[in-house]
A = this chain, B = another copy of it.
Amino acid sequence: MRLTPTPADKFTFGLWTVGNRGRDPFGEFVRPPLDPVRAVHTLAELGAWGVNFHDNDLVPIDATAAERDQIVRGFRKALDATGMTVPMATTNLFTDPVFKDGAFTSHDGSVRAYALQKTMRAMDLGVELGAQTYVFWGGREGAEVDAAKDPVEAIKRFRDAINFLCEYARDQKYALRFALEAKPNEPRGDIYFATTASYLAFIPTLDHPDMVGVNPEVAHEQMAGLNFYHVVAQAIEAGKLFHIDLNDQKPGRFDQDLRFASESMKPLFFLVKLLEESGYDGPRHFDAHAYRTEDEQGVWDFACGCMRTYLILKEKARQFRAHAGIQALLSEIREEGAAAAGAYSPQRVRELKARSFDRQALASRRLPYERLDQMVVDLLLGV
């Protein structure tokens, strides 16, 4: 079992993940800032393929043009020295108080305009550093007070912004695809487009739907108790899995961003299996952070753990395919029985309406799911 990551595994980390300083609603920073250049070098040593960033992870929001250029030069040098890539970039539209009631969905036209400006500049920065996917997480696009904002209008405003930015990318000849990232709540009481599926529903209404897909995140769907494997399956079936955020989360609580698969081993086994077998060839991006108890060494332990567990689960997926007992049960379970209806035709309808079904016989069919599931448990536990 190979458990040492290599760039071919396409593991990526956000600068904000290894750079997370451990502040939370009840406590102050526990770790000093991490220089992005140092992050690139260390992640490269650990076997990662790339890093992603929000504009302000790299360039402070108030940096001058000269400062920006100097930072970017230093960062590019680190990329060149290490061979690391920047497959994805995104905009921070949530930290600054200017976005306290939304960015693209703010009532204030100036705030919306500023959010567009900030995003265009961040796209320029991302593309300059090689990004091919651009993520949109609208962390402030939501409400605590439903009297104050119209959720229908919010959708329209968000659409206007994405359409505008698609045009911008096309005009600039940027080879960018957009990936929309959903979250049900936190920091807002409720965030618009609460689930990945709500973005999948939104995309066909855009001017350039082919440019736009989704960036599902484990923690965000599990906060709502949803089955993340099913969520990603729908995105894949729709051809819209453009990026993915891997981490972990206990359902029904605050956004934990735990080390990948540190809690949900079985559900995330199925996720890894799906990613590996579906032909998805994008980054395996970890959007998580180390516990607040860790120092910098702990941050690297955390990063290694994310990649290691992914590789373990990938190997388990291979074992699953090679497992004679599991495959025999699956064959039995997947037997079609008598003919299905087939494609529609009036003739088929006549036949089908006349057909006689023995409900009890059909209901008594053996479906050995307990046995199958126990084999999966055994396989996961390495028995």
* Residues of chain B within 8 A of A224, CB atoms compared: 184, 224-226
Interface residues on A, range: 35 or more
* Interchain CB contact under 8 A, A370 and B30: no
* Residues of chain B within 8 A of A365, CB atoms compared: 108
CA distance A96 to B362 in the complex (A): 11
* Interchain CB contact under 8 A, A151 and B107: no
Question: Which of B195, B376, B381 is A195 in contact with, Cβ under 8 Å?
Answer: B195
Interface status of A340 (Cβ within 8 A of chain B) = yes
User: Within A340-383, which residues are at the interface with B (CB < 8 Å)?
Assistant: 340-341, 343-344, 346, 349, 352-353, 355, 357, 359-360, 362-378, 380-383
* Interchain CB contact under 8 A, A189 and B250: yes
Interface status of A4 (Cβ within 8 A of chain B) = no
* Residues of chain B within 8 A of A359, CB atoms compared: 96-98, 114
* Residues of chain B within 8 A of A163, CB atoms compared: 344
* Residues of chain B within 8 A of A308, CB atoms compared: 374, 378
CA distance A139 to B25 in the complex (A): 11
* Interchain CB contact under 8 A, B261 and A263: no
CA distance A277 to B292 in the complex (A): 29
* Interchain CB contact under 8 A, B265 and A355: no
* Residues of chain B within 8 A of A82, CB atoms compared: none
Listed by A's residue number, 28 A-B pairs whose Cβ atoms lie within 8 Å are A25-B255, A27-B95, A28-B95, A97-B360, A98-B363, A100-B363, A107-B333, A107-B335, A109-B337, A113-B357, A116-B341, A117-B352, A117-B353, A120-B349, A144-B293, A147-B375, A164-B344, A190-B227, A197-B201, A201-B238, A224-B226, A225-B250, A225-B252, A253-B253, A294-B367, A301-B370, A301-B374, A312-B383
